[in-house]
C-alpha cells in the first residue's frame, strides 16, 4: 500500500504544481489589470460562493458519506450494487444542484449581501452581476468533485489529475482571451467554461469505462442510502461550518478599506499553494487508502501509513514555512507587483503571509486527521471540530480586526486553525493510540531544524547584503535554504529526511 501511496502522491504532486502555476498566472493577470480594487474584492467574494453553496446545500456531505459506503460494497464484490447507489447519487446531485443554481441567479443580490454586507453600492452591484455568471458552474463543480472521488477509489489518480489540469489550463486560456472584451466579468465566464470542460472529460470517462454499470435512474429505495443519510447528518454541519470560517473572514473584511479582501485572498492563496502541493496531495491520496485499509481492518498498515504521511508532510511544510518567513516580501513582489497592483498592496500581502505562515503546520496535518474521521465514520467528531473553529473565528475576527485591521483577521486564522488541529489530534489520540512519544520527539526535532535553518540562512543572506531580487536569484536562495534545511534534518537524525535525500540522489526510496 505504501508503493500505491508514493506513486499516487507523485502523480498528484506534479499535477498540483502545474495547476498552481496556472493559478498564479490567473491571479497575476487579474491583479495586473484591476489591482487591489473594488472589482477584485467583488470577484474574490464571488469566487468562493459556488463552493460554499455546494457545502451549504448538504451535497458536500452527501459525497463524503457516499465514499466509505461505496468502498464497502466494492470490497464485498457487489460492484453492480455500488454503481446503482452511485448512479442515483450522481443523477440526484445534478438535478438538485441545477435547481439551486437557478434560485441563486434569481436571488443573487441577497446572497452578496449575506457574504459581503460591508460592500458599497458599486462593489455590491458588480459582485451581484459576477455571481449570476459564476453560479452557473455549480452543477459542474458538484459532479466533477463527485466523479473524481469515485475514480480515486479505483486508484485512477492520473484521470483526476488530468481533469484538474484541464480545469486550470482552460481557465487561464479563457481569461487571457476574454479579459480585454468582458473586463472583470471574464473571471466568472472563465470559471464556468473551465469546469464545463472538466465535467465533459469526466463524463466521457464515465461512459467509456462504466457505461454497463451506470444508469439514469433516481431511486433511494436501496438500504445503503439509510447509512449514507445517517453519516451525512453531522457532516452537513461540519462542511457548512468549515467553509463558513473563511466566509466569515470575508464578511468582516468587507467592512475594511478597499483592497483588504483582495490582499487577504492573495495571501491565503499563496499560503495555501504549498498546502495544495503537499497536504492536499497527501489527503487526496491517503483518503482512498485509509478507506480501503479500514474496510480490510488492517490496523497495522493503517498505523504505518499514518506515521509515514504525518512525518513526511511536516518535513516538507516546515521548509515552506522557512521560505515564507525569509522571502515573503520578495515572492509577492516578483509574482504580483506590476500594473495596477502597487507596492503598498504588495507589502500588505507579504505581511499577511508572515502572520499566516505558522498555520501551515496545522494545514498540513489537518487533512490527514479528517481523512481518518471519514474512513472510520467519525463524522460527529468533525462536526464538533468545525463548530469549535467557527465560534472561535467569529470572536477573534471581531476582536482582533478592531485593533489590527486585515492583519487581525489573518492572526485570528492562525490561532483558530492551530487550536482546532490540537483539539482533533487529542481526540484521535485516545481512539487510535498514536505513538505520542515518537511523534513528540519528531516534532521537537522538526522545530529545532526549522530554527537552525532560519538563523543560519538569515545571517548568511545578511552577510551577502542582498538588495535586489529577481526570479533566478530567488530560486537560487531558496535552493540554498533547502540544502541547509536538509542538512539540519540529517544532523538531527530524522530518518524520513534520509529517505528524502536518497530519493533526490537515487530517484527511489531505499
Answer yes or no: do 388 and 469 share one domain. no
**With a threshold of 0.85, does the pTM exceed it?**
no
Q: What is the predicted pLDDT for the residue at 509?
A: 41
- The phi, psi pair for 235, rounded to 5°, reads -70, -30
Q: Is residue 327 located within the same domain as residue 472?
A: no
Whether residues 209 and 84 share a domain: the answer is yes
Q: Which residue has the cell 467569529?
A: 394
Q: Are residues 459 and 421 in the same domain?
A: no
Smallest Cα–Cα separation from 295: which of 35, 67, 13, 475?
Answer: 67
What is the residue range of 484's domain? Answer: 435-510
Query: What span, in angstroms and rounded, lies between the C-alpha atoms of 501 and 494?
Result: 11
Is there a single domain that holds both residue 421 and residue 485? no
450 φ, ψ (degrees, to nearest 5): -65, -45
- Looking at residue 405, what DSSP letter applies? T
Comparing CA positions, the residue from 28, 47, 22, 18 lying closest to residue 346 is: 28
Angle at 157 between CA 154 and CA 162, to 5 degrees: 130
- Residue 280 DSSP symbol: I
Question: How far, in Å, CA of 288 to CA of 165, rounded?
Answer: 21
- Give the domain-ending residue among 415, 434, 453: 434
CA–CA dist 347, 358 (Å, integer): 19
Q: Which residues of the chain have pLDDT under 50?
A: 2, 287, 295-296, 507-510
Q: Are residues 505 and 400 in the same domain?
A: no
Q: Measure the CA–CA gap between 322 and 218, rounded to whole angstroms.
A: 51
CA distance 17 to 349: 22
pLDDT for the residue numbered 196: 95
Q: Both 328 and 361 in a single domain?
A: yes
Which run of H or of E encompasses 235? helix 224-253
99-132 b/e (C-beta count within 10 Å ≥ 16 → b): ebbeebeeebeebbeebbebbeeebbebbbbbbb
Same domain (yes/no): 454, 323: no
Dihedral of the alpha carbons of 309, 65, 426, 297, in degrees to the nearest 10 = -60
The pLDDT value recorded for residue 245 is 62
Domain boundary among 401, 434, 467: 434
What residue spans of 76-134 are helical by DSSP H? 79-106, 108-115, 121-134
Residue 164 vs residues 30, 173, 278, 289: alpha-carbon distances, Å: 20, 14, 16, 21
Domain count, the chain: 2
CA distance 407 to 349: 9
225, 332: one domain: yes
Residues 6 or more apart in contact with residue 187 via CB below 8 angstroms: 30, 43, 47, 130, 134, 175
Phi/psi for 418 (5° steps) reads: -65, -45
Phi-psi region of 256 (alpha: psi -120 to 50; beta: other; left: phi over 0): beta
Quote the cell numbers at residue 48.
468562493
Predicted pLDDT at 286: 53
Q: Are residues 328 and 421 in the same domain?
A: yes
Q: What would the DSSP string read from start to end of 329-390?
A: HHHHHHHH-STT--HHHHHHHHHHHHHHTTHHHHHHHHHHHHHHHHHTT-HHHHHHHHHHHH
Write down the residue that cell numbers 487581525 correspond to. Answer: 408
Cα–chain center distance at 317: 14
Last residue of a domain, one of 417, 434, 451: 434
Residues 44 and 20 in one domain: yes
Same domain, 367 and 416: yes
DSSP 3-state of 214: coil
Cα dihedral 139, 143, 144, 149 sign: positive
- Whole-number Å distance between alpha carbons of 255 and 181: 31
Amino acid at each position: 500500500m505504501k508503493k500505491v501511496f508514493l506513486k499516487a502522491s507523485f502523480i498528484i504532486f506534479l499535477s498540483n504544481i502545474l495547476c498552481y502555476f496556472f493559478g498564479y498566472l490567473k491571479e497575476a493577470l487579474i491583479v495586473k489589470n484591476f489591482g487591489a480594487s473594488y472589482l477584485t474584492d467583488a470577484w474574490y467574494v464571488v469566487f468562493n460562493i459556488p463552493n460554499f453553496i455546494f457545502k451549504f446545500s448538504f451535497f458536500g456531505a452527501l459525497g463524503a458519506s457516499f465514499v466509505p459506503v461505496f468502498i464497502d460494497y466494492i470490497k464485498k464484490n457487489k460492484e453492480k450494487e455500488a454503481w446503482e447507489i452511485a448512479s442515483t447519487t450522481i443523477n440526484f446531485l445534478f438535478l438538485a444542484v441545477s435547481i439551486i443554481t437557478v434560485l441563486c441567479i434569481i436571488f443573487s443580490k441577497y446572497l452578496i449581501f449575506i457574504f459581503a454586507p460591508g460592500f458599497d453600492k458599486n462593489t455590491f452591484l458588480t459582485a451581484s452581476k459576477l455571481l449570476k455568471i459564476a453560479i452557473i458552474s455549480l452543477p459542474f463543480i458538484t459532479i466533477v468533485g463527485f466523479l473524481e472521488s469515485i475514480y480515486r477509489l479505483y486508484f485512477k489518480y492520473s484521470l483526476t489529475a488530468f481533469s484538474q489540469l484541464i480545469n486550470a489550463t482552460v481557465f487561464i486560456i479563457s481569461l487571457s482571451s476574454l479579459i480585454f472584451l468582458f473586463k472583470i466579468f471574464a473571471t466568472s465566464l472563465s470559471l464556468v467554461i473551465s469546469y464545463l470542460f472538466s465535467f465533459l472529460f469526466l463524463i466521457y470517462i464515465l461512459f467509456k469505462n462504466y457505461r454497463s454499470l451506470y444508469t439514469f435512474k433516481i431511486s433511494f429505495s436501496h438500504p445503503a442510502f439509510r447509512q449514507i443519510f445517517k453519516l451525512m447528518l453531522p457532516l452537513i454541519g461540519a462542511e457548512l461550518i468549515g467553509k463558513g470560517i473563511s466566509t466569515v473572514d470575508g464578511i468582516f473584511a468587507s467592512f475594511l478599506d478597499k483592497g483588504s479582501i483582495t490582499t487577504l485572498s492573495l495571501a491565503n492563496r499563496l499560503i495555501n499553494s504549498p498546502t495544495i502541493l503537499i497536504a492536499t496531495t497527501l489527503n487526496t491520496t491517503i483518503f482512498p487508502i485509509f478507506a480501503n485499509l479500514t474496510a480490510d481492518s488492517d490496523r497495522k498498515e493503517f498505523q504505518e501509513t499514518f506515521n509515514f504521511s504525518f512525518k513526511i508532510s511536516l518535513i516538507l511544510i516546515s521548509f515552506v514555512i522557512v521560505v515564507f518567513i525569509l522571502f515573503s516580501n520578495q515572492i509577492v513582489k516578483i509574482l504580483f507587483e506590476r500594473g495596477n497592483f502597487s507596492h503598498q498592496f504588495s507589502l500588505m500581502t507579504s505581511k499577511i503571509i508572515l502572520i499566516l505562515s505558522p498555520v501551515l503546520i496545522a494545514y498540513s496535518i489537518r487533512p490527514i486527521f479528517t481523512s481518518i474521521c471519514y474512513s472510520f465514520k467519525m463524522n460527529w467528531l468533525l462536526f464538533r471540530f468545525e463548530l469549535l473553529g467557527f465560534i472561535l473565528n467569529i470572536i477573534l475576527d471581531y476582536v482582533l480586526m478592531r485593533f489590527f485591521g486585515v492583519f487581525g483577521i489573518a492572526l485570528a486564522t492562525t490561532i483558530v486553525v492551530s487550536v482546532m488541529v490540537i483539539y482533533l489530534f487529542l481526540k484521535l489520540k485516545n481512539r487510535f493510540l498514536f505513538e505520542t512519544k515518537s511523534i513528540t520527539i519528531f516534532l521537537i526535532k522538526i522545530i529545532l531544524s526549522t530554527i537552525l535553518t532560519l538563523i543560519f540562512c538569515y545571517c548568511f543572506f545578511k552577510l551577502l547584503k542582498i538588495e535586489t531580487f529577481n526570479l533566478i536569484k530567488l530560486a537560487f536562495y531558496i535552493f540554498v535554504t533547502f540544502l541547509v534545511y536538509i542538512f539540519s534534518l540529517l544532523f538531527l537524525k530524522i530518518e524520513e529526511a534520509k529517505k528524502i535525500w536518497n530519493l533526490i540522489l537515487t530517484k527511489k526510496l531505499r
